Amino acid sequence: MKKRFAIHHLFMFLMAVMLSSVVQVAAQAEFRPRLFAEVYDETINMGKLEDNTITMAQALEGVRFGLFGISTMDLYFKQRIGSDANRDFWNNRAELMVGTRLRFFQRIYLALCTELVNGHYMKTDESTLPDGADYTDVRAGLIFWQGFDGEAVHRWNTTVPLTLWDEIYGDFFYFRNDRRNGILYVNGKVGFRLLRLYKTAIDAYWVSYLMTDINGDYWNNKTEAGLGIRVKPWNDLDFDLFVEFLNGKVTPRSGDYENPNDSEYRYTRIGLTFWHGWGS
């Protein structure tokens, strides 16, 4: 136990030294460094599908460098904590990370990320975990986001409903600690504004989710689609309350685990998401 404790503290020390060295080199190259921070939180109830409520929150602090006016490089520390009502060990863990994020364009969000992770599973019997409660990981991948808002682009009267909007998010990440797996996730929404009252907006939308991976795990290979309604209580904040009525299907793959559930299903997904950043 003492040996494992020392190894993980040495791991975090080496990550901090590496980040400090890169910051000094970039500052000497006059890449206009500036501090930034981000916080994100999501809480989702999966209805009868899993009969569970899952929460994940993270905070990220770092230094951002402008690269020739066309892209940015972020060097950061990240803290993430997750929990759920059912106390499943894979949802109940805390992680500390040091990472880099290179964004390529300005009008759309496309970024290459790498992270070194030191994690700990919580609320579980360590003897039930094949590799113990503590773990390290290396993660790398691409993140994509694009959004269109008819209200903002066309400057239409904000009291008029039925303005169109869309959002597309996707990522592909490699997880060394998850049997060297690569996971692709895509989420798309297209909808219109039902009602706008000062800073409060109510939207209806069509939503779809797609997941697939290299290892063929059934929980990572599925498609879901349906209708949703979301409320933005204060439109200046990136804060959504939503309910979605989804039909899903598990994509047949020959992975290491057999799917114990029905391959087709439907459920109601209820949740909230919040994001805020400083130092753009």
The pLDDT tens digits for 126-167 are 666 767 889 999 999 999 999 988 776 555 445 556 789 999
> Distance between CA 105 and CA 72 in Å, rounded?
8
Looking at per-residue pLDDT, the higher value among 47 and 2 belongs to 47
> Distance between CA 174 and CA 214 in Å, rounded?
10
Average pLDDT over residues 237-266: 92
**Per-residue pLDDT for 7 more than 60?**
no
List C-alpha distances in Å: 277 to 8, 22, 82, 136. 30, 23, 20, 27
In degrees, rounded to 5, the angle at the alpha carbon of residue 173 between the alpha carbons of residues 44 and 8 is 90
> What is the pTM for the complete model shown?
0.84
pLDDT at position 192 is 93
What residues contact 104, with CB distance under 8 A and at least 6 apart? 70, 71, 110, 111, 112
SS3 content of the chain, % helix, strand, coil (to 5): 15, 60, 25
Contacts 24+ apart (CB under 8 A), 156-159: 158/196, 159/196
> Distance between CA 275 and CA 38 in Å, rounded?
7
pLDDT at position 3 is 46
Share of residues in the chain with pLDDT > 70 (%)? 82
Q: pLDDT confidence of 31, banded at 50, 70, 90?
A: low
Instruction: Extract the tokens encoding 76.
Output: 């950061």
Looking at per-residue pLDDT, the higher value among 118 and 197 belongs to 118
> Distance between CA 75 and CA 60 in Å, rounded?
10
Q: Which domains does the chain have, with CATH numbers?
A: 2-278 (2.40.160)
Predicted confidence (pLDDT) per residue in 76-116, tens digit: 999 999 999 998 888 999 999 999 999 998 788 999 999 99
pLDDT at position 125 is 67
What residues contact 250, with CB distance under 8 A and at least 6 apart? 218, 221, 222, 259, 261, 263, 264
pLDDT at position 10 is 53
What residues contact 153, with CB distance under 8 A and at least 6 apart? none
Q: pLDDT confidence of 48, banded at 50, 70, 90?
A: confident
Q: pLDDT confidence of 2, banded at 50, 70, 90?
A: very low
DSSP category for residue 68? T
